[in-house]
Amino acid sequence: MIQTVIETLIAKAFSQGKEYPVYNRFALYEGCMYYHLADELGKEVGI
């Protein structure tokens, strides 16, 4: 029953949902990867 509900919601999301562009900003520098959080302050995270 729950699996049917999940599958129905997924199908509705794919067929009726809105699409939004997504941008990922990351860089490799001195052996570390930096990921831009795209917040108001322009923060990034080093991984």
Does pLDDT of 12 surpass 90? Answer: yes
pLDDT at 22: 82
Does pLDDT of 17 surpass 90? Answer: no
- In terms of pTM, does the model score above 0.85? no
- Residue 26: both structure tokens together: 């990351």
Partners of 45 in the beta sheet? 35
Percentage of the chain surpassing pLDDT 90?
53
Q: Is 34 exposed, middle or buried (0-12, 13-18, 19+ CB in 10 A)?
A: middle
pLDDT at 9: 94
pLDDT at 27: 94
Contacts of 26-31 spanning 24+ positions with Cβ under 8 A: none
Question: Cα 28–32–34 angle (5° rounding)?
Answer: 60
Predicted confidence (pLDDT) per residue in 29-46, tens digit: 999 999 998 888 889 899
- Contact assessment for residue 47 and residue 40, using Cβ atoms and an 8 Å cutoff: no
Domain residues of the chain, as ranges?
Answer: 21-47
